[in-house]
Amino acid sequence: MDLTRAKIRDLRKALDTKEISAAELCGEYFKKIDEKDGNVLSYITVTKDKALKDAENAQKLIDEGRVSALTGIPLAIKDNICIDGVKTTCASKMLENFVPPYNATVIEKLNEQGYVLLGKTSMDEFAMGGSTQTSAFAKTKNPYDLERVPGGSSGGSAAAVSASLAPAALGSDTGGSIRQPSSFCGVTGIKPTYGRVSRYGLVAFASSLDQIGPICSDARDCAVMLNAICGHDRHDATSARVDTPDFTEKLGQPINGMKVALPKEFYEQGIDNVIKTAVMNAAHELEKQGAILVDCSMPSLKYAIPAYYLIACAEAASNLSRFDGIKYGFRGEGRTFEELIRDSRSKGFGEEVKRRILLGNYALSSGYYDAYYKKALALKQEIIRQYDKIFEQADVILTPTAPTPAYKIGEQDNDPVKMYQADICTVTVNIAKLPGISTTCGYTENGLPIGMSFIGKRFDEQTILQAADAWEQGFQTVAPKL
C-alpha cells in the first residue's frame, strides 16, 4: 500500500497500530517530494530537519497513548501563514528572507495536535492571482497536466495534495483561492465561514475577505482538519465567538430531503458546457439520493467581479502599504526617503501585486471613493440579501467552482481581466462571508478534473460537508498520472 495516497484516517490507523512510525511516514513523503516536486514545484521551502524533530515528538505522544487526530500526520502549509523560525515569503521578493518570530494561531493549534511540518507551499504572490504563476520562487504546475496551471492562489497546497506530496494542506481563500485550485487539481477544499478560523498570523491580502481553510483528498479529511483549527481567538478581533461543533458529526448521514438550490446565473453564459453538464449530472445524482433540487435566481452575480475586486484591491492597497523597505520587507536603494520607498516597492513587488495596489488606491482616492468603493460596499449588502433569500428555501447551494477546467500556463498572462472573470463562481461566497466546499464531480475528455461547490449558511459547515461527502461516497476519483 502506498501510504502517501492514503487518507488522514488511514494514516491515523497505521500510526496507532505501529504499522509505520511517524518518522518513517515522514520519510515516505520526503522521498516522493524528492522524486516528483522538481516537476510540480508545489513547495517553496521543504523543512526536513524540523519534520524529523516533529516526528520524534509525535512518536513519543503515540507511544504514550496521548493521541489526537493529527498526531504524527505530515502536513503542508501555504507560505503566507507564519511559522516560528520557518521562512515565510508570501512567494514575493519583498519577503524573501522573512522568518517570523511567532506562530499563527492555526499553527499553534496544529502543534497542540502534534502534527509534522513537511514545508511551505507556493502561492500567487501575496495571494494575488488565480494561477500560482505570479510566485517569485516556484511557479507550480498542475499534476494532471504539467503544461497547465494548478489554479491559485493556494495552487501549491492543492498541487501537493493532488500529487500525494502531502496528505493535506492549509491554504487561504480571499475570493476562491482554496476552492478554485482544488477544482483544477482534483482535490477537496473548504473555505470556512469568515471568523470561524483565526486569521492571526496570516499575512493579510484583504482583511474582510481572507479565511484560512484545509485542502484534502476528500470531505472527511477536511472535517478532521477543521476540528483541529477552528475556534475563537483573542488575538484576532474578527474571530467569531461561536461554539465549534464536531465537523465529522453529519458525515455519512443520508441527504434525503436536503434542499439543494441551483441559481440559474451560475449556469449561464461564460460557463463551459462541459462544466455545466458535469455539475448538472451531479445534481441529478444527488436527487436520486433523496435531495430536492430548487431552482432560484441571483441577479447580482453579474456585478460580483467588479464589487469583489474593488473591495479586495482597496484593502490590499492598505494592507501592503507597510512594506516600504524601512519597516518591513526588501530594501531598495535611494538617496532620499522617497527614492528608497519607490525603489523598494518597485523591485520588491511583482506586476500583479502592483496592479492591484494601483487599482485599490484609485478606488479609495478623493473623488472616486463614492463612485467606486462605496458602490461596491452597497453591492456587498445586496449579495448578502440575495443569499439570505435563497437560504429561506434551501439548505445548500450547488454551483460550478470555476467556469473552465485548468487552462494552459501563459494562456491568460496578457489578459488580467479574463483571469479576474474566472473567479465569478467563487467571489460571492467571500463577499457574503459564507462557507463553501469544492469537490470533484467529473473529468473532461482529456482527463482534467471538474469541480463543483456546495455553499452553506453562515457557520453551517457541517451541512456542506455532509453534502460533499454524500456525493464523494458514490464518485470514483482518478489520480494524476505523474
Active site (catalytic) residues: 78, 153, 177
Question: Cα–Cα–Cα angle for 28, 32, 33, nearest 5°?
Answer: 115
Render 124-152 in DSSP notation, one character per residue. Answer: SGGG--SSS-S-SS----BTTBTTB---S
Cβ neighbours for 51, distance < 8 A, ≥ 6 positions apart = 26, 30, 74, 116, 117, 118, 119
Distance linking the first and last C-alpha atoms of the chain: 17
Whole-angstrom distance, CA of residue 23 vs CA of residue 291: 44
Helix, strand, coil percent values for the chain (each to nearest 5): 40, 15, 45
Residue with cell 453534502: 467
Alpha-carbon gap, residue 17 to 1, rounded angstroms: 15
Give the number of other Cβ atoms within 10 Å of residue 53's Cβ. 13
Identify the three-state secondary structure at position 350: coil
Cell, residue 415 = 489578459
Rounded Cα–Cα distance for residues 303 and 310 (Å): 11
**Alpha-helix runs per DSSP H in 218-330:** 219-229, 273-288, 304-319
